[in-house]
Amino acid sequence: MSLDPNTPVVVGVGQASDRIDDPGYRRLSAVGLAAVAAAEALADSGADPAAVAAAIDTVAGVRQFEISTPMAQAPLGRSDNYPRSVANAVGAAPARAILEVAGGQSPQHLITELAGAIAAGSSQVALVFGSEAISTVRHLAAREDRPDFSEHAEGDLEDRGFGLKGLTSRHQVAHGLSDAPSQYALLDNARRARRGETREQYAAGMGALFAPFTRVAAKNPHAAAPTERSAAELVTPSERNRPIADPYPRYLVARDQVNQGAAALLMSTAAADRLGVPAANRVYLHGHADLRERDLLERPDLGAAPASVAAARHALEVAGIGVDDLTTIDLYSCFPVAVSAVADGLGLAADDPRGLTLTGGLPFFGGAGNNYSLHAVAETVHRLRAAPGSYGFVGANGGILSKYSAGVYSTTPVEWRSDRSADLQAELDAGPTVSQAVTADGWGTVETYTVKHGRGGARTGVVVGRLEADGRRFLALTEGDDALDLLSSGEPIGTRVHVRSFGVGNRVTVSRERMDELHPPRAAGLRKSYEHVLVRRDGHLLEITINRPEARNSLHPMANEELDEIFDAYFADPDLWVAILTGAGDKAFSAGNDLVYSASGKPMWVPKNGFAGLTSRRSMPKPVIAAVNGFAMGGGCEIAMACHLVVADATARFALSEVRVGLVAGAGGLVRLPRTVPPTVATEMILTGRRLSADEALGFGLVNRVTDAGAAVEGARALAAEILAGSPTSVRMSLQIMAETRGIPDVVDAVTFPSPALDELMASADATEGVTAFAQKRAPRWTNR
């Protein structure tokens, strides 16, 4: 068969390992492991390694875990240009170097992408590699003779970033979903419930699925845990097989403590001919696909993987074959559901005689970080060369069954074939999704769950449920041992639970009574004293002072909670008609979030009602005046904007300074400021952190009045007195009608809006008193009724 000279072909693969308990342990770095694997791939091509290295025009590196997240650490140091460090080690000087996004889909995705680049003529020879030295780092980090893996490599780098968008959220992290086992456990438990299996039946199935994997790993010289285990041993908790996240004990969890590397060498047919690569060494990519699943909590069926299945099916379709035509199969196997969900969709049985892994799988061969599937590709290439004309499938998964890249390989020559992944992705994206309740309150039912187990015996229950009221999905942590017990035995899925939202997140209990017992409702009224806030009551006026001058009146969780409690009491007290909020001292009204406290690593949260109990409060039925003395920075400016009125002294400065510390004004500043000041001014303030003086703020409409220095509170009291002169009922109704009509664009529609506030006002004692006092030519005596 005469092929297009740009037809891409895999010509060499290599693997490396460096187990710390082996006699020949070499203490290799991630760069060192990848370099060994890359050198093996060059030699595996059958051509002169030096000539091949000189011909490489593109290198692409898979991210190690230590460079996969913003907060990841490298205790022994790391290269500042991983792809070029590896290239230098094998004598290559490529024009292009790529550092791929994080995720286990990366190896197959890079092979597909670079094969396409070769087919298009923009590359001739490309090397893909990845590695992890996690085991070595943990083994040597505390030793005096620890090596230094820091390395500088010159040259351009196409760093594609972490690629974490959609893979996690603050909401998930706040509810214990920052680790892979707990998130995958939710999926496996959802699948179990859909299949109608008991815990025991499903555990037996997971054991039966993974027991053959251990037999493969036991024979693999690169496996991190080459030990054959029975199905029962895999799923039975023991001292060595401790529970991690139900339904997983440790033996079913991907093993990341590995020292492994792998590489694959691709080139055009013309380059292979020129460099002398034997025809027997050439393996062609017959089919491929790359698809992405919806974000975790948006998926209609948490026990299925439609995007992964669609990618696998489409790769086979592009190759022109069916599942039965495959000789080898390697399904990404970080957790049981990653295998079973795809196997379900392809009609593969757990005991398929071909096997579902070539390496031994992530829990037994080893996770190798994001690079596992490059080992699967290497094994596939070797198997296909030994059986010319056969087909091998590699399924590579990233995230929480989030990103799936599939490849179909064979030694049978074939020209490059394009896929329709973009069209399929559009179809998937147009499918149904699930509405979420970020803050959830009321009765609900358990949709799926897990119980996370700490080493000291601590347990944390995580629930995904549906609200009875509207069917929205919620995420919550359990409260109380009885709720944990519910999740730990029998069938919790479908069980009725009670959920309530707090500043720290949503919590579930077995009943409303139990929730009230664990979280008694706040006592009505104001306390006599608070730790971080001063309160002064003067008739119908409430003065609230943030009392943290040493921290520029910035707010940490405890101060926020006190303010939230105080404003709850204020809005509920019929004898309090106006509130003033200010800051202690003369330096700052509030510097917003306490960044020093945040940097301490202590738990951070804000109340449901936002900073100071105001910025996210949906209903503010009575006026709040901000008396701004000094700086109102970041969250402090957002608090001031959340108030109905602002009085500033001459020293006041207003700014949304979050961009200066790598944050955004997410507590209302990005929304309220452009609606308050001219858009051009708002944009400049938001993007640069520009500070407005009191007079500038007055001119732009951000504040109502400016006083002399140090007189903001007096000015606020004067404004409050003017409000108190009017009917408190009229004030409340006015605020209500303004809120009700704010989103109505047509003026007449807004004017004629049938607000119930008007009926309430006309039936009020204050309305009668106002008219009567006017007729009698006396001052009214308001009662707020």
Burial class (CB in 10 A: 0-12, 13-18, 19+), 378: buried
Residue 731 in tokens: 């004030």
With beta carbons less than 8 A apart as the criterion, state whether 522 and 570 touch.
Answer: no
Residue 108 in tokens: 């197959």
Handedness of CA 505, 506, 509, 514 (dihedral sign): positive
Burial class (CB in 10 A: 0-12, 13-18, 19+), 696: middle
Q: Which amino acid is at 780?
A: P
* Adjacent-strand bridge partners of 96: 58
Largest alpha-carbon pair distance within the chain?
110
Q: What angle do CA 600, 603, 608 make, to 5 degrees?
A: 130
**DSSP sequence for 146-175:** -----B---S--EE-----TTT--HHHHHT
- Cα–Cα distance for residue pair 145/155, rounded to 1 Å: 31
Q: Which amino acid is at 28?
A: L
The conformational region for residue 46 under phi > 0 = left, psi -120 to 50 = alpha, else beta, is left
Let me know how long the chain is: 785
Measured N-to-C along each axis, helices 336-346 and 180-195 cross at an angle, to the nearest 10 degrees, of 40
- Cα–Cα distance for residue pair 171/439, rounded to 1 Å: 10
Q: Which residues contact 756 (CB under 8 A, 6 or more apart)?
A: none
Q: Which of 658, 696, 714, 760 is catalytic?
A: 658
Sheet with 588-590: list strands edge to edge: 588-590, 631-633, 653-655, 692-693
- Cα–Cα distance for residue pair 373/494, rounded to 1 Å: 37
How many C-beta atoms lie closer than 10 Å to residue 245's C-beta? 26
Q: Which amino acid is at 556?
A: H
**What DSSP state is assigned to residue 626?**
E
Closest CA to 15 of 407, 366, 389: 366
Q: Which residues contact 276 (CB under 8 A, 6 or more apart)?
A: 46, 47, 48
CA-CA-CA-CA torsion for 580, 583, 588, 592, nearest 10 degrees? Answer: -90
Q: Which of 638, 714, 740, 760 is catalytic?
A: 638
How many C-beta atoms lie closer than 10 Å to residue 528's C-beta? 5
Q: Which residues contact 734 (CB under 8 A, 6 or more apart)?
A: none
**Peptide bond connecting 432 to the previous residue in cis, omega within 30 degrees of 0:** no
| Burial state string for 161-188 with b = 16 or more CB within 10 A and e = fewer than 16 | ebbeeebbeeebebbbbeebbbbbbbbb
Q: Which residues contact 18 (CB under 8 A, 6 or more apart)?
A: 25, 26, 27, 28, 33, 133, 136, 259, 260
Residue 119 in tokens: 């087919």
* Adjacent-strand bridge partners of 500: 507
CA-CA-CA-CA torsion for 418, 403, 40, 124, nearest 10 degrees? Answer: 30
Closest CA to 90 of 222, 258, 263, 260: 263
Closest CA to 451 of 461, 437, 465: 461
With beta carbons less than 8 A apart as the criterion, state whether 577 and 728 touch.
Answer: yes
Active-site residue flag, 658? yes
Residue 350 in tokens: 């757990």
Residues labelled as active-site residues: 638, 658
